Amino acid sequence: MRYSNSKFIKMKHICVYITLIMSFTSISCQSQIQKQEPGKTNEDTVDATQTQAIVPDTFVLPVIPASITNAEKRAEFLTMHYWDRFDFTDNDLLLRPEITEQAFADFINILSYVSNDWATKSIKHMLQKIESNSNSYSHFLQLYEKYLYEPNSPFLNEEYYIPVLETTVNSKILTDTSKSRYLFQLDLAKKNRVGQIANNFTFTLLSGKKGTLYDINSKYTILMFINPGCRMCAEVVDALKSSNEVNTALAKKSALKSELSIITVYPDDDLNEWLKYLPDMPSLWINSYDAERKITNDTIYDLKAIPTIYLLDNDKRVIFKDAKVERILEFFR
């Protein structure tokens, strides 16, 4: 079941960042985070290769050189130099979420303004910058995991978390024991990534008949790992059952293939619970269980939370990984 007691900070300063990226005029938006050094304006030019002065006891945005007028390049400068003026040696500042965690949440958001390759470079640059400070490194690793990897995070993004893990497992300040946890996460995160062919597996139907994921002949496949008694699973099932667009796609079939197939997989071993659950499942869906429990035991899929939903294309290539049901519904509208 998906649950979390974590508190996630929402981005509060989008006006600031859009202004910084899209123009090189002074900012009119107000923000709780100080945006520039007193006496300086955003028109002040700085050498893009130089580190700007650290400002203590707060978070200050970098000043983007006025000579950079292209929106994409401004966004790239901002993400790469975002932390240049932050004092990572101030342990007290790390414990002030209204400053540090807020700045971090905003950083994760503005990464969407750059390419994935540049986001990866910016994340790795930030971590390499603080590797010599164990307190900061540990603190920001926790934030990266909380925001990018926890199942309930509104910022969930394993593609951003992978460069964090790649940097961490090669860190010189962590012990091999500490790295082992991140190595395990990295192995899971790299499985069934968006754009990859999803791993095949064997499922079993109520009749005892077996099939494989690759046997499903459909333009699109919604793959769901669910558990009986899971409240969120029931909500997801109800949302899909009540979607006119999803039902229309399910009913659309040609002589060669279906438009959409939905397969649910019960990955655990209490079949009595699964049997009680079956009457509530639509007959047009493929409702199955993992008889040999290979999905879990061999970690074929990352099931750190239930439900886990994938959307696959005709070739079983991953379109969405660990997607929210709202995203699935939007895809078929």
pTM of the full structure:
0.83
Flag the least confident range among 6-10, 14-18, 141-145, 202-206. Answer: 14-18
Residues 156 and 212 in one domain: no
**Omega within 30 of 0 (cis) for the link into 307:** yes
Q: Is residue 257 part of a domain?
A: yes
Nearest to 302 by CA among 203, 195, 187, 212: 187
**Which parts of the chain fold into alpha helices (H)?**
14-22, 71-81, 91-94, 100-110, 116-130, 134-148, 158-168, 176-189, 231-241, 244-251, 271-277, 294-297, 325-331
Q: What's the pLDDT score for residue 40?
A: 47
Domain ranges, residue 18:
14-189
What does pLDDT average to over the chain?
88
Residues 103 and 177 in one domain: yes
Residues 217 and 179 in one domain: no
- For residue 227 the two structure tokens come to 């558990």
Last residue of a domain, one of 141, 163, 189: 189
- Classified as helix, coil or strand, 243 is coil
Q: What's the pLDDT score for residue 20?
A: 61
CA distance 179 to 191: 19
Residues 217 and 274 in one domain: yes
Residues 122 and 256 in one domain: no
pLDDT band at 35 (very low <50, low <70, confident <90, very high): very low
In the predicted structure, residue 71 carries a pLDDT above the cut 60:
yes
Assign residue 327 the CATH number of its domain. Answer: 3.40.30.10
In the predicted structure, residue 229 carries a pLDDT above the cut 70:
yes
pLDDT in tens, 238-286: 999 999 999 999 999 887 889 999 999 999 989 999 999 899 899 999 9
Residues 185 and 211 in one domain: no
Residues 31 and 171 in one domain: yes
Q: Is the dihedral of CA 66, 71, 73, 74 positive or negative?
A: positive
Residues 182 and 33 in one domain: yes
Rounded to the nearest 10°, the torsion over CA 274, 277, 281, 283 is: 60
Query: What end-to-end distance do the CA atoms of the chain give, in Å?
Result: 27
Q: Give me the number of domains the chain comprises.
A: 2
Q: What's the pLDDT score for residue 32?
A: 39
Residues 97 and 182 in one domain: yes
Residues 164 and 288 in one domain: no
Residues 284 and 157 in one domain: no
Q: What's the pLDDT score for residue 218?
A: 97
In the predicted structure, residue 126 carries a pLDDT above the cut 90:
yes
CA distance 299 to 242: 32
Q: Is residue 128 part of a domain?
A: yes
Residues 153 and 215 in one domain: no
